[in-house]
Structure 1
Amino acid sequence: MPVEFLGIATTNDASETTARTTAAFDPGYLERIVRAHEDNGWTRVLFAYGSSGPEPSALAAYTAARLQSIELLLAHRPNVSYPTYAAKTFATLDQLSGGRLSVHFITGGNDYEQGREGDTLTKDERYARTHEYIRIVKQAWASAEPFDHHGDFYDFDDFVLDTRPVAGHTPTVSFGGSSDAAFKVGAAEADIYAVWGEPLDRTREQIERVHTEAAAAGRATPPRIHAAFRPIVAPTEELAWEKAHRILGRIEERKAALGGTLSRRHPIDKPENAGSQRLLEIAAQGERFDSVLWTATAKATGGAGNSNALVGTPEQVAEALLAYYDLGVRVISARGYDLLDDAVDFGRYVIPIVREEVAKRDAALAEAAAAEVAA
């Protein structure tokens, strides 16, 4: 099965290592970074969501009008709109982009961040709401006839979309999380289940959990698995590790300059969300796992989001990613610390290796299947 690559779309060049050099909201930079992904073999880009950030669906529409082939993954929090309105927004974007839209639903793992936009539900309540929300959105996309809904969180009658997604295309539903509630909801509803990059044995455990919960929900085919990493790549192994330690130093310097924090959305100490807790537990067990997985960046950032690194030459990083592919990972998220240049380098030097080796695996499987039929 082909492998897909997810990058990041942003309106400025700030990262954990670098203060922004662009304007805080720079449409030109947004177009440049997405074009860098489109021109270098990436499948899609993510428009992330934060309570204080720009509205991602507007950014996706802006991008769809300017770039013709890159796919668009829109992050969305159910607390910010009614599901009928969201279904309409997503369908409109899918039409504007010619069927290039996917949606990543974010339940929210930080009570304080959720509260910034008036969301006071508990974590379990938020997951129950997300489950109901996704089902409504899916029904709105699929239904040519008006329908009613009377649920725990939403209540309406006689809703139908005049504008539905592009004919023959249903936007992919992406979902992530590492808590029990997340596995149950995402495994039941998502097309793609996202996990953060962990050691191979821990990733295998998460994949097995997703498959188990999907079967329990009555699904014959489980979600595809998406794993996220921070690539640190250089021409030689020695140079890659030198680069890695420079990056770690810059993270610590930036954290100190900002008073011991890197983001208003994520605490450095004692994160609430299960995914970050897992990353910090792994980092406490050691800095290096498997071939090139490095946890020091996760430790330095408090396990903030996608924060475990893969350090090495393009060949070493590609080999590590292929090990995840062999576990069942089909979508690889990668974001460097120099957002634009790293997107170009990863696209030029790592993605082609991974794609070539995946094609060889697929060809071997097809040959074996044909031989079995012939026998």
Structure 2
Amino acid sequence: MKIFWFFPTAGDGQYLGTRAGERKADISYLKQIASALDNLGYEGALLPTGANCEDSWVTASYLASVTNRLKFLIALRPGLMSPTLSARMSATFDHLSNGRLLLNVVTGGDPKEQAGFGSYHNHDERYEVTDEFLDIWRKVMEGQHVNHKGKHLEVTGAYIPEPPVQKPYPPLYFGGSSPAGKEVGAKHADVYLLWGQPPGQIKEKIDEMKQRAAAEGRELTFGIRLHAIVRETEEEAWEAAERLISRVDDATIKAFEERHAAFDSTAQKTQSSLHGGSRLRENLEISPNLWAGVGLAREGAGTALVGSPDIVTERLREYEAAGVDTFILSGYPHLEEAYTFAELVFPKLKKQPAIR
């Protein structure tokens, strides 16, 4: 089981839905998180991408210089950058970090945000671009000189001077829940990413993607993106969850619902549907200890595991039994919660065997 954390490059705090107590994601704070993750034993950390986030490549490049073993899961954005330039950036980062680069392929799910970057492709066209992009990118990273003229992309004599440290290239993480996204994921991904849903639903998706990958002559591993609220007792954990959304009002919920309705991301629509606009625990606990409250006032992953160390460990093992081996977690605020999770759960994961 690989445990990752998250860099809050759009800001952090103790509450959702308010600027009260907000922490700026400056380099001093991000360095504190990076140092903690490096020393606590996290496998790596995801750097998000989006209009409100600091650039993931620039941020990770700095943080790699102040860490020793932590891996950085950085956004690769087909359609916003050329595949050749992206390959050169990837190879350089992999060299300078001594093989600590992981890549999160992000096609984009918000048409308004895409337009701000100059991309006007519709949903399925973005996946067509991603498919062509990764065809070129993978060949270039393998050391080939590439000529390609496709529907959306064209390169002539594309290459990189030196191959990356990781062979044939740093692992590609990818999440796409639509038919077009699943097709690209089966063809190109190394790790297929899912957002938190009940374990039974996750297993169904994993089984489907295994079949799709097999049809491409490939195998996938699987990761899941979740938040975590762990305390010494289950009661304390649920109190912390309620506190996290205690500043979220009806206007905030409505604003996020309206914003998410404009997305064309299948995964985002699924996450947004889980909470139903309710702040009541009985409505937000969509399966044992899986809480959809985060999605009331946050884009992207909207569910959290809530409970004591024993309970959260048990839930993680249930996902592992369903086929997940990589967990990308986070908590508010991210510095303190990184310590809390590591101190309370890491010892349990080492002692408790996997469910078979």
> TM-score normalised to the size of structure 2?
0.90
Aligned to 1:293: 290
The answer on whether the counterparts of 1:200 and 1:324 sit within 8 Å (CA) in structure 2 is: yes
- 1:154 deviates by 1.6
Q: Distance in 1 between matches of 2:81 and 2:240?
A: 42
The residue identity in structure 1 corresponding to 2:320 is: Y
Matched, 1:274 2:266: yes
Separation (CA, whole Å) in 2 of partners of 1:267 and 1:352: 40
Identity %: 29
Taking the TM superposition and a 5 Å limit, the aligned residue runs for 1:107-126 are 107-126=107-126
State yes or no: 1:233 paired with 2:225: no
The Cα of 1:12 is off from its aligned counterpart by 6.2
Distance 1:201 1:22 in 2: 36
1:7 corresponds to which residue?
5
CA contact (8 A) 1:231 1:336 kept: yes
Contact 1:319 1:354 in 2 (8 A): no
Q: Does 1:354 align with 2:353?
A: no
- Residue correspondence of structure 1 range 155-304 to structure 2 within 5 A: 155-166=154-165, 168=167, 170-219=169-218, 221=219, 223-250=220-247, 252-253=248-249, 256=251, 261=255, 267-269=259-261, 271-284=263-276, 286-298=283-295, 300-301=296-297, 304=299
C-alpha deviations, 1:150-203, integer Å up to 9, x for none? Answer: 222221222221022016462010101211111111121100010001011111
**Are the structure 2 counterparts of residues 102 and 120 from structure 1 closer, same or farther at C-alpha, using a change threshold of 3 Å?**
same
Match of 2:265, as an amino acid?
A: N
| Distance across 2 between alignment mates of 1:131 and 1:168 | 20
- In structure 1, what is the Cα distance between the partners aligned to 2:11 and 2:351? 31
1:149/1:175 CA distance change after superposition, 3 Å: same
Q: Structure 1 239/167 Cα, relative in aligned 2: closer, same or farther at 3 Å?
A: closer
Q: Tell me the amino acid that sits aligned with residue 176 of structure 2.
A: G
* Residue 56 of structure 1: aligned partner: 56
Instruction: Return 289-298 or 148-157, whichever deviates more.
Output: 289-298
Partner residue in 2 for 1:305: 300
Using the TM superposition, give the Cα deviation of residue 291 of structure 1 relative to its aligned residue in structure 2, in angstroms: 2.4
SS at match of 1:72: strand
Q: Is the CA contact (8 Å cut-off) linking 2:10 and 2:54 kept in structure 1?
A: no
> Alpha carbons of 1:288 and 1:273: their partners in 2 closer, same or farther (altered >3 Å)?
same
Name the amino acid aligned to 1:276: Q
Q: Give the match for residue 139 of structure 1.
A: 139
* Structure-to-structure mapping, 1:70-81, within 5 angstroms: 70-81=70-81
1:27-82, CA deviations, whole angstroms, 9 ceiling, x for partnerless residues? Answer: 11111111121122210011211134322111111111110110111012212211
> Aligned-residue CA RMSD in angstroms?
2.4
How far apart are 1:279 and its partner, in Å? 2.4
Answer whether contact 1:45 1:73 (CA < 8 A) is retained: yes
Structure 2 residue ranges without an equivalent (≥5): 277-281
| Correspondence 1:315 to 2:310 | yes
Amino acid at match of 1:140: V
Q: CA deviation at 1:354?
A: 2.2
Partner of residue 325, structure 1: 320
| SS in structure 1 at match of 2:325 | strand
Q: Which stretch of the first structure deviates more once superposed, 17-26 or 209-218?
A: 17-26
Deviation string 1:323-357 (CA, Å, 9 cap, x unpaired) is 00011101001111211111111112113322433
Distance verdict in 2 for CA 1:356–1:183, change over 3 Å:
farther
Shift of 1:97: 0.3
Runs (5+) with no aligned partner, structure 1: 366-375
Q: 1:218 to 1:167 in 2, by over 3 A?
A: closer
Residues 244-303 of structure 1 deviation map (CA, whole Å, 9 limit, x = unaligned): 1111223x14x74x695469xx815564311122224444494324421112333x237x
Q: Is the 8 A contact 2:320 2:354 kept in 1?
A: no
Distance in 2 of aligned mates of 1:180 and 1:27: 39
Residues 1:334 and 2:332 aligned together: no
> Which amino acid is 2:6 matched to?
I
How many matched pairs?
A: 349
Calculate the TM-score normalised by the size of structure 1.
0.86
Distance 1:172 1:317 in 2: 28
